[in-house]
Structure 1
Amino acid sequence: MAFIAFAVLGGSVKFRVAHPERIPARGAYVIAPNHYSEIDPVIVGMMVFRAGRNPRFLAKSSLFKIPVLGWFLRRSGQVPVERTAAAAAKAASPLSAAAELVDKQGIVIVYPEGTLTRDPDMWPMRGKTGAARIALEQGIPVIPIAHWGTQALMARYGKKINFFPRHPVDFAVGEAVDLSEFEGRPIDQPLLTAATEKIMAAITAQLETLRGEKAPVRRWDPAEQGQSETGRFHERS
């Protein structure tokens, strides 16, 4: 997969990574990036691969049903996630699959937002609790990563890749999020919500450095805006 990704996109992307040394060369941890373009996982995966680690994602299960792509995802050890409660109840737990990766000292990349941000200006929106739960249950760090520039390669909800000219994509790798205040406590919903917000704040702070501007004080919440949690919200009536 890495060979294909670099062969197809290597000449279209210029990677500029701030603090790549913050990606540990060994050990298990969660990488938590922001998400605003459907090509984000490919670009983030390429960056992580360049840093010397094999990327493993929690990815929406519908991708695994696509011919060829689904085969690649399964063979490369990606983890399918059902995004509706009914489907998730019938599926194997992605948390158990992530735990297996941790046991093998692998890394798992989790998009805390769960989908492309609904924020009109593409700031990180309200997060979901998967990344925090994996980190706290497995006792591993969360490395926040922000990137900016993939929207030039593929627009939000776009399907066309703009191969030319070569597009710079900037990354900022943050220090591991300090979740020590949550350790040793019952892992309930209020705790996960608080830990998730701390992770989202760390991602947002990295993105502010890349964009050179401040994010909105109040994080975008799709529920407050009457927006669906999945799908292309701007195409829905």
Structure 2
Amino acid sequence: MALKETHRPSIFWPMAWICFGLLGGSVKFRVAHPERIPATGAYVIAPNHYSEIDPVIVGMMLYRLGRVPSFLAKASLFKIPVVGWFLRRSGQVPVERTAVAAAHAPSPLAGAATLVEKQRVVVVYPEGTLTREPDMWPMRGKTGAARIALEQGIPVIPVAHWGTQGLMGRYAKKVNLFRRNPIDFAIGEPVDLSEFEGKPIDTHLLAAATEKIMAAITAQLETLRGEKAPTRRWDPAEQGQSETGRF
């Protein structure tokens, strides 16, 4: 498919070549409803998250459909030599995942607002980390995607994918490059957040908007997996699990 964007960060070209060179022979993308990815303009992509390599796979999918994504990525990645340089040069936004660190760091929402001004695609994982749900269904969401969408007045497009675990399992340390892994994507219609527009953006409103986003992602994943998700969304706090780190 021809690339649609005409203005791209130049650093993204070598990054794309590296990713496709390393993984291109190990993955087979199958995308349902690619036409739901707008060719231009700013919007939030909200995917499910269950593998460390998810951002690379989602980025490759979007790039193949003609958009260059920008991610809200955990700040620790920006401290890795070379990797951090690439992330900054390609327009990614660091996010501190602990309250203490976040209090002394620039707001990721400000970074996201800058990307919106530039009409970029912003990828936000509403779960904030790899799902803790035992069967890898989407767990409870955090409010970043909803807040960006409502504050900036841009759509949220729910995206589900399944099959990445064949390439790199949840919390695995190695990528399986020795067999071809089909990875299926289902792209949903923009989440209808009209009931929240024009209202004060408070905790309760963001929680309700976030749940609508999580429900839309889950519905797309159900179509890929051909089964129903649990009726109650997994909440790490209720299960005595930490918000970050391996478990």
Query: Which aligned segments of 4 or more residues in structure 1 are displaced greater than 4 angstroms?
Result: none
Deviations 1:126-168 (A, max 9, x none): 0000000000000000000000000000010001110121000
- Could you tell me which residue of structure 2 aligns to residue 151 of structure 1? 165
Q: Are residue 9 (structure 1) and residue 23 (structure 2) matched?
A: yes
Q: Paired residue for 2:65, among 42, 51, 69?
A: 51
Provide the rounded CA distance (Å) in 1 between the counterparts of 2:245 and 2:84: 19
Provide the rounded CA distance (Å) in 2 between the counterparts of 1:54 and 1:165: 27
Unaligned runs of 5+ in 1: none
Matches for 1:112-127 after TM superposition, within 5 Å:
112-127=126-141
Provide the rounded CA distance (Å) in 2 between the counterparts of 1:3 and 1:78: 18
* C-alpha displacement of 1:77: 0.7
- Could you tell me which residue of structure 1 aligns to residue 175 of structure 2? 161
Matches for 1:202-221 after TM superposition, within 5 Å:
202-221=216-235
Unaligned runs of 5+ in 2: 1-14
Provide the rounded CA distance (Å) in 2 between the counterparts of 1:129 and 1:135: 10
Task: Calculate the aligned-residue CA RMSD, in Å.
Answer: 0.5
Provide the rounded CA distance (Å) in 1 between the counterparts of 2:35 and 2:42: 15
Number of residue pairs matched by the alignment = 233
* C-alpha displacement of 1:72: 0.9
TM-score (norm 2): 0.94
* C-alpha displacement of 1:53: 0.5
Deviations 1:78-121 (A, max 9, x none): 00000111111111010011001101111100000000000000
Matches for 1:126-145 after TM superposition, within 5 Å:
126-145=140-159
- Could you tell me which residue of structure 2 aligns to residue 35 of structure 1? 49
Provide the rounded CA distance (Å) in 2 between the counterparts of 1:161 and 1:32: 24
Identity of aligned residues (%): 83
SS at 1:169's partner residue? Answer: strand
TM-score (norm 1): 0.98
Deviations 1:146-202 (A, max 9, x none): 000000000100011101210000000000000000000000000000000000000
